[in-house]
Structure 1
């Protein structure tokens, strides 16, 4: 069993995926209604940003096995031609909390170790302030499950997540174009996943297991 702090540290370590997220970081605070920036760069590992390609970018919460999309930042952004997205955080997606993280989900690239799932990259967990919403009971249970979730085992989320309207006004800046998008999405939890459940980082759950194992080793010493 891993502590909540251990899970947080493992999530932070997962920022070292091929999509290296430079904003937000653990010390970041996004304020509802005020423009915020998600930024990233290539860390030089395989696959590169060109391979990762177009991605869904959103604000999530949850645990290693089950994560819920709270706000869509961009439904599709090419991470190889764009390095940042400016958007406005929606204050209704949850309360003031440090249980938020940004997830990149490749639209076309599959996870190298579990090709039945898309490649993903995660930011460190960060804080959101000025919030007016709440986490429903299902989402709160996901957050509470951080200390008991079986790392790398089968997990199942069978509905029960109250839909949340995720609104964003995002301006994507790239060398070729600039556009504004407003996206509506329902909050959703992951379906049953075995092995790569709740993948953290582009190479899947192995990244998370390595971080968690190192933390456990340090505790045992």
Structure 2
């Protein structure tokens, strides 16, 4: 069927066999090989991106540091919502992140976590939101995707390994693993043709030399219960 006049040239039209061209350019990742496979040439803005690491601490946060440094250096705010570990200020500063533009939100409970993530995503105050979420069904994820569409920054949602086997409304889904000491990024989903080979990256040695996160301090214990880590 022929397209309506003018529709074929509309930037809002996306053909499944072509890489989508978003309304706003992406935020450069700092890794040209990764930018080349991402719609918009970087971390997409106004959509939800899922980062699914095979295990914690393989470089999933380090992957975002160039973008965090760029955004915070431009005066944009960065939000960490429900991180499992406390962001390690010396490592972030060493990577060029302006700590004065970093906000950490640590809600208590699953419902409060989802609410906080949704509110921060929908805010226009942040250049990038990093959030951690374990179990989530399709409906909560759709609400997060809609919230991201209402915001004006990039949104990175860290998910557990099992999430790779589940469907998700997120516009971009990346699975992260290690191969020969290098970070392997498999594009599980994007608005464009399938990426058959993983993107292999060498993370900066200066950043890999020390952790980016530290264990959170013990949470206050309820009466009669021992303190535990979040």
Query: Scaled by the length of structure 2, what TM-score is found?
Result: 0.27
TM-score (structure 1 length as normaliser) = 0.27
User: Is the radius of gyration larger for structure 1 or structure 2?
Assistant: 2
Structure 1 or 2: larger strand share? Answer: 1
